[in-house]
Homo-oligomer: A and B are copies of this chain.
Amino acid sequence: MARQVGVSAITVSRALRSPEKVSAALRERIRLAVAELGYIPDAAARALASGRTDVIGVLIPSVTNNVFADVLSGIYAGIEDAPFDVQLGNTRYSGLQEESLLRVFLSQKPAGLIVTGIDQSEEARALLSTAQCPIVQIMETDDRPIDMMIGFSHYAAAGAATAHLVERGYRKLGFLGARMDPRTQRRFRGFRDTAEAAGVFSKTRVITTPAPSTVTLGSRLFADLVERAPDIDGVFCNNDDLALGVLFEAQRRRISIPAELGLCGFNDLEMMATAEPSVTSVRTFRHEMGQRAVVMLIEAIQADLARSPQVVDLGYEVKARGSTAR
């Protein structure tokens, strides 16, 4: 340690953390020594001695998914220059992984935690409830928050998209779904209930798979759908990757969008507005969600509120575009 340098000990600690409490002379000598020795304080010792860390743990189910990439960039934007480090955990849509990561995170006594969704296992909820830090659940809303919560209703959003297709006169609606995690299932229910209410639902026009979403998969599912239900005139996709696959497959089959087929995606990825034709989608506020989640978290941390229930509904927006313009 830099104690050799001058004739100090804890002063180094002070010089580093609150320079104003140390005389200019010492401060300078210490600064030089630190630079020379390449001294970097030991995070573990600091955490142990102070009993706190500046880690914000973030648990998301996928790193390959654009949706979470946007949330993440919002989180980084929200952190800005706040003195916190985000530590990312990838649960890979697995409850077991989530529990295991939770244990890892909790062992670090994080300053705060951001977790995805409302479908934690009992075990995970138990772990979370023992956490000595504020927690934000993101991506969804419901009335059973562990602590804070920010998101939107996937059920309502999917319902609105479906209503839009109906309103545009599409009657033989199909649903394409991949991955089928709990969020996706809520979207499906939103579709089904709205379609049923409008009298346009048919089980034969629903195709789902547990496989992860890709554009290629969208093309394949749509090909299946067309064979199974040739009279289909509208498709609501679980997400935009699938929708893009449908767009390409429809082009290949010379099925005209929007004249013969209405197409609606979900998430409103950037590319949907640029596609030809542009694709209707449900816009969600992912960046804002990530950003506000950290901001809420940091406020709770700084206010020393270990638990301060609150639910923020960010809503959604059906962006009507060329693919449903008839």
Cross-interface CB contact of A106 among B40, B92, B276, cutoff 8 Å = B40
Chain-B contact segment, one of A4-12, A243-251, A305-313: A243-251
Kindly state whether residue A53 has any CB partner on chain B within 8 Å. Answer: yes
Interface magnitude class on chain A: 35 or more
Specify which chain B residues have a CB less than 8 angstroms from the CB of A107 in the assembled complex: 40-43, 46
Known: A64-B72, A88-B88. A38 touches B126 (CB 8 A): yes
Specify which chain B residues have a CB less than 8 angstroms from the CB of A69 in the assembled complex: 63-65, 69
Kindly state whether residue A215 has any CB partner on chain B within 8 Å. Answer: yes
What residue in chain B is nearest A219 (Cβ atoms)? B274
Cross-interface CB contact of A271 among B43, B215, B251, cutoff 8 Å = B215
Interface string of A247-274 (1 = CB under 8 A from B): 0110110000000000000000011011
Specify which chain B residues have a CB less than 8 angstroms from the CB of A86 in the assembled complex: 88
Specify which chain B residues have a CB less than 8 angstroms from the CB of A63 in the assembled complex: 63, 69, 72-73, 76
Specify which chain B residues have a CB less than 8 angstroms from the CB of A76 in the assembled complex: 63, 90, 92
Q: Provide the bound-state CA to CA distance between A219 and B48, in Å.
A: 53
What residue in chain B is nearest A58 (Cβ atoms)? B88
Cross-interface CB contact of A248 among B41, B70, B109, B275, cutoff 8 Å = B275
CB distance from A60 to the nearest CB of B (A): 10
What residue in chain B is nearest A38 (Cβ atoms)? B130
Specify which chain B residues have a CB less than 8 angstroms from the CB of A273 in the assembled complex: 216
Kindly state whether residue A108 has any CB partner on chain B within 8 Å. Answer: yes
Q: Provide the bound-state CA to CA distance between A45 and B215, in Å.
A: 47
A63, A218, A248, A274 — most chain B CB neighbours (10 Å): A274
A contact set with B: CB distance below 8 Å: 38, 40-48, 53, 63-66, 69-70, 72-73, 76, 85-88, 90, 92, 103-104, 106-109, 126-127, 130, 214-216, 218-219, 241, 244-245, 248-249, 251-252, 270-271, 273-276
Q: Are A103 and B40 in contact (CB under 8 A)?
A: yes
Q: Are B245 and A274 in contact (CB under 8 A)?
A: yes
Q: Provide the bound-state CA to CA distance between A248 and B244, in Å.
A: 12
Known: A53-B44, A126-B38, A276-B251. A87 touches B90 (CB 8 A): no
Specify which chain B residues have a CB less than 8 angstroms from the CB of A70 in the assembled complex: 64
Specify which chain B residues have a CB less than 8 angstroms from the CB of A41 in the assembled complex: 107
CB distance from A79 to the nearest CB of B (A): 10
Specify which chain B residues have a CB less than 8 angstroms from the CB of A72 in the assembled complex: 63-64, 90
Q: Are A216 and B106 in contact (CB under 8 A)?
A: no
Q: Provide the bound-state CA to CA distance between A127 and B39, in Å.
A: 10
CB distance from A52 to the nearest CB of B (A): 10
Q: Are B53 and A64 in contact (CB under 8 A)?
A: no
What residue in chain B is nearest A107 (Cβ atoms)? B43
Specify which chain B residues have a CB less than 8 angstroms from the CB of A106 in the assembled complex: 40
Q: 5 closest Cβ contacts across the A-B interface?
A: A44-B47, A215-B271, A43-B107, A44-B48, A88-B88
Q: Provide the bound-state CA to CA distance between A215 and B44, in Å.
A: 44
Specify which chain B residues have a CB less than 8 angstroms from the CB of A248 in the assembled complex: 274-276
